[in-house]
Amino acid sequence: MKKNRTFLAICTLFIGVLFVASCDDDLSPLGGEIIGGNNFDTNLFEETDVVSYSLLVNPTQTNALPVYQLGIYNDPIYGQTTSSVLSQVILNTVNPDFGENPEIESVILSIPFFSTDDIVSEETNDFILDSVYGNTMIKLSIYESTYFLRDFDPEAGFEEPQKYYSNQGPLFEGFLGDLIYQDIEFLPSSESIIINEGEDDEQVLSPRIRVELPIDFFTELILDMEGSSELSSVNNFKDYFRGMFFKAEALTPDGVLMLIDFAEASINIEYTFDGIDVADQDGDGDTTETIRLEDEIGLTFGGNVVNVIETEYPAELLSELADVDIEEGEETIYLKGGQGVMTLIDLFGEDTDGDGEADQLTALKENNWLINEANLIFYVDQDKVTGGDLEPERIFIYDLDNRRVLIDYDIDNTFAEATIDFKGSHLGRIVRDSDENGVSYRIRLTTHISNLLRKDSTNVRLGLVVSQNVLSTTLQGLETPQDPGIEGVPTGSVISPEGTVLFGSATLNEAKRLKLKIYYTEPN
């Protein structure tokens, strides 16, 4: 038995050696080229024809956003932006029973800011605020709104959701009702809020707007309507109390702007009523007497929420954006979020022979290159941009023709702990110098370019915007589509107040000119 096993092992080894030798004979020419023959050259090609130009975006859909801008933002290039919010209000409990002789004790509005969980100082209970821009006081007013926000569009047979747009502020302000609250010197605070300090039920809340609203207003609005049809359903209540308008106004050329998640906002109404002390709450042993009991009812912000955004662009900038060269491109790239400014990018130049493909792309395909890496490098125009925190951390590129992300976005699975770092291989964060001023952005298009050169993919136009969140890839539609074929912009751009200025494809600064850099391997 041992002899048979030994003989079988020797035969197997001999056959394996013959197989490896035959494979080596087949592969040795290619292996020789890669390892010893030096028949492959790795090179950089950056003389691609790139055309870039910027456009002021038409009024943009601003309902159904993940977060909303509220406040005043001043940009030295793009001017002052004013962002207000109209939101429906939902009654959490329909057909409420308030008991006998109800009376409201307090009405508290609570709107959390984005902030870190770690307290900066135990002495001050300060948090680190996130998504708050500026530090100058503004005027903040809250009005009842009598404008009804529809869920569905009657012009589409009530089969499509109703869209509302960034330029509808004047319309909404024509339907303002009672002034509910006003702070003429509003400024977000990073301090936590302590409820019932020193008591057994003490609570520590993260930084937020937390203010008292008028009791008389909500007594008439809610308590006095007990048993009415207005409080009998969510839809009836939305028609009865149509919403609240949060209006921001500038006190100075500067201001402060916050990103707010209105899904986390609420109004809490605490009230007392006559009831039987069955639990002996007063401790006198009598469980049959009538005492004042406590309860509460809540309102939340939901349904339709609309951002109205108005930017006072400088006349010189508007003139420049109205007269761009779409054939040769522009010296400067402008990017601004909100109802903002975007840039269009065409790769590989013109199609002079009319075959449906850019001439340079046709020529490059004939080289049969293997693409190692392809990057668009955007350099910040530091002479125009105020550096530091005012610069957006991310910019976002997408397929403008098909209104979707590029393949490099889909295959970028780089791990990140923070949202700001996601998709970092494809959409690199801003590169900063030692003074924390922005230097450049890199966007990697390796697979996109490889597919163009080797798989006959379509050379689509590219859209470039700033982004508050590169994971937000949906598009917000425009009130009116604009040439050339722009029907929407990425959500991550609409929710961003920031802007920047980059060197374009026609700049005279050769070192900073926008180029597509292709690193490739070419077989000899």
DSSP codes of every residue in 105-174: EEEEEEEEPEE-SS-SBTTTTB--EESEE----EEEEEEEE-----SB-GGGTT-SB---BTT-HHHHHT
Residue with tokens 């291989």: 425
Q: Are 241 and 233 in contact (CB under 8 A)?
A: no
Is residue 310 predicted with pLDDT exceeding 70? yes
- The gap from C-alpha 143 to its chain's centroid, in whole angstroms, comes to 27
Is residue 8 predicted with pLDDT exceeding 60? no
Q: What is the share, in percent, of the chain residues with pLDDT greater than 90? A: 79
Token pair belonging to 23: 């494979």
Q: Residue 35: which pLDDT band, with cuts at 50, 70 and 90?
A: very low
Terminal Cα distance for the chain, rounded: 56
Q: Are 130 and 115 in contact (CB under 8 A)?
A: yes
For the stretch 81-107, pLDDT in tens is 999 999 999 999 999 999 999 999 999
For the stretch 233-275, pLDDT in tens is 999 999 999 999 999 999 999 999 999 999 999 999 999 999 8
Is residue 126 predicted with pLDDT exceeding 90? no
Q: Return the SS3 of 522.
A: strand
CA distance 473 to 394: 13
Q: Which whole-number Å values give the CA distances from 396 to 73, 430, 476, in the listed order?
A: 21, 12, 15
Token pair belonging to 261: 């998640």
DSSP 358-391: -HHHHHHHTT-PEEEEEEEEEEB-TTTS--GGGS
Q: What is the mean pLDDT of residues 187-200?
A: 89
For the stretch 465-477, pLDDT in tens is 999 999 999 999 9
Q: What is the pLDDT of residue 166?
A: 98
Q: What is the mean pLDDT of residues 167-188?
A: 98
Q: What is the mean pLDDT of residues 174-178?
A: 98
Which of 170-179, 187-196, 304-313, 398-407 shows the lowest per-residue confidence on average (mean pLDDT)? 187-196
Q: Are 89 and 243 in contact (CB under 8 A)?
A: yes
Q: Return the SS3 of 93.
A: coil
Token pair belonging to 34: 């890669």
Q: Residue 124: which pLDDT band, with cuts at 50, 70 and 90?
A: low
Residues 6+ apart with CB under 8 A from 366: none
Is residue 22 predicted with pLDDT exceeding 70? no
Q: Which whole-number Å values give the CA distances from 10 to 4, 7, 14, 105, 245, in the listed order?
A: 10, 5, 6, 94, 87
CA distance 18 to 12: 10
In one letter, which amino acid is 46?
E
Q: What is the pLDDT of residue 151?
A: 95
The more confident residue out of 189 and 286 is 189
Q: What is the pLDDT of residue 279?
A: 75
- The gap from C-alpha 89 to its chain's centroid, in whole angstroms, comes to 24
Which of 93-97, 147-151, 289-293 shows the lowest per-residue confidence on average (mean pLDDT)? 289-293
In one letter, which amino acid is 79?
G
Is residue 217 predicted with pLDDT exceeding 50? yes
Is residue 321 predicted with pLDDT exceeding 70? yes
Q: What is the mean pLDDT of residues 125-130?
A: 86
CA distance 197 to 195: 5
Q: What is the pLDDT of residue 441?
A: 98
Q: CA angle, corner 47, sides to 52 and 317, nearest 5?
A: 20
Q: What is the share, in percent, of the chain residues with pLDDT greater than 70? A: 90
Is residue 327 predicted with pLDDT exceeding 80? yes
Residues 6+ apart with CB under 8 A from 32: none
The more confident residue out of 329 and 280 is 329
**Sign of the CA dihedral with 255 first, then 260, 262, and 267 last:** negative
- Local structure of residue 37 (DSSP, 8 states): I
Is residue 6 predicted with pLDDT exceeding 80? no
Is residue 216 predicted with pLDDT exceeding 90? yes
Q: Is the peptide bond before 484 cis (omega within 30 degrees of 0)?
A: yes
For the stretch 374-402, pLDDT in tens is 999 999 999 999 888 889 999 999 999 99
Question: Is 0.75 surpassed by the pTM of this model?
Answer: yes
Q: Which whole-number Å values give the CA distances from 143 to 2, 219, 297, 299, in the listed order?
A: 95, 16, 21, 16
CA distance 448 to 455: 10
Which of 23-32, 43-52, 274-283, 338-347 shows the lowest per-residue confidence on average (mean pLDDT)? 23-32
Is residue 360 predicted with pLDDT exceeding 80? yes
Is residue 14 predicted with pLDDT exceeding 70? no
Q: Are 68 and 298 in contact (CB under 8 A)?
A: no
Is residue 442 predicted with pLDDT exceeding 90? yes
- Local structure of residue 204 (DSSP, 8 states): E
The kind and range of the H/E element at 238 are helix 234-240
Q: What is the mean pLDDT of residues 355-366?
A: 94
Q: What is the pLDDT of residue 456?
A: 85
Q: Are 56 and 318 in contact (CB under 8 A)?
A: yes
CA distance 436 to 429: 13
Q: What is the pLDDT of residue 3?
A: 40
**Sign of the CA dihedral with 380 first, then 307, 107, and 95 last:** negative
- Local structure of residue 494 (DSSP, 8 states): H
